[in-house]
Copies of this chain bind each other. A is one copy, B any other.
Amino acid sequence: MSTDLFLDRYLPLIEAGLRDAIGSQEALPGYYGMMQYHMGWLDEFLNPAQAPTGKRLRPVLCLLACEAVGGQIERALDAAVAIELVHNFSLIHDDIEDVSETRRHRTTVWKLWGLDHGVNCGDGMFALAFLQLSGLQDRGVPAELALCAQRVLTETCLALTEGQYLDMSFGTRMDVDLDSYLRMIRHKSAVLIACSTRLGALLGGADAETADWYARFGENLGMAFQVVDDILGIWGAEDETGKSTSTDILNRKKTLPIVYALSNGELAACLADAQETLTEGEVARVVSLLEQSGARAYAERTARDYSERALSCLEQAGEDTVPRRAIRELSLALLGRTS
> Complex: how many Å from CA A223 to CA B43?
36
Contact residues of A between 21 and 71, Cβ < 8 Å to B: 25, 27-28, 30-31
Contact A124–B161 (Cβ < 8 Å) = yes
A285 an interface residue at 8 Å Cβ cutoff? no
Q: Which of A101-109, A162-170, A295-303 contacts B (4 or more CB under 8 A)?
A: A162-170
Contact A158–B93 (Cβ < 8 Å) = no
Which of A25, A93, A166 has the largest number of chain B CB atoms within 10 A?
A: A93
A119 an interface residue at 8 Å Cβ cutoff? yes
The residues of B that contact A164 with a CB separation of less than 8 Å are 120, 123
A99 to chain B, nearest CB (A): 8
A337 to chain B, nearest CB (A): 33
Contact A119–B147 (Cβ < 8 Å) = no
Contact B144–A158 (Cβ < 8 Å) = no
The residues of B that contact A322 with a CB separation of less than 8 Å are none
**Cβ contact of A93, chosen from B28, B119, B131, B161, cutoff 8 A:** B119
> Complex: how many Å from CA A97 to CA B168?
20
Q: How large is the interface on A (under 10, 10 to 19, 20 to 34, 35 or more residues)?
A: 35 or more
Using CB atoms, name the residue of chain B closest to A124: B161
Contact B154–A127 (Cβ < 8 Å) = yes
> A28-B165, A31-B162 are known contacts. Are A126 and B123 too (CB-CB below 8 A)?
yes
> Complex: how many Å from CA A27 to CA B158?
13
> A28-B166, A119-B93, A147-B134 are known contacts. Are A126 and B126 too (CB-CB below 8 A)?
yes
Using CB atoms, name the residue of chain B closest to A156: B127
The residues of B that contact A146 with a CB separation of less than 8 Å are 143, 147
> A97-B115, A116-B96 are known contacts. Are A130 and B154 too (CB-CB below 8 A)?
yes
**Cβ contact of A134, chosen from B28, B30, B98, B154, cutoff 8 A:** B154
A328 an interface residue at 8 Å Cβ cutoff? no
The residues of B that contact A115 with a CB separation of less than 8 Å are 96-97, 115
The residues of B that contact A96 with a CB separation of less than 8 Å are 115-116, 119
> Complex: how many Å from CA A203 to CA B269?
60
**Cβ contact of A155, chosen from B117, B131, B137, B162, cutoff 8 A:** B131
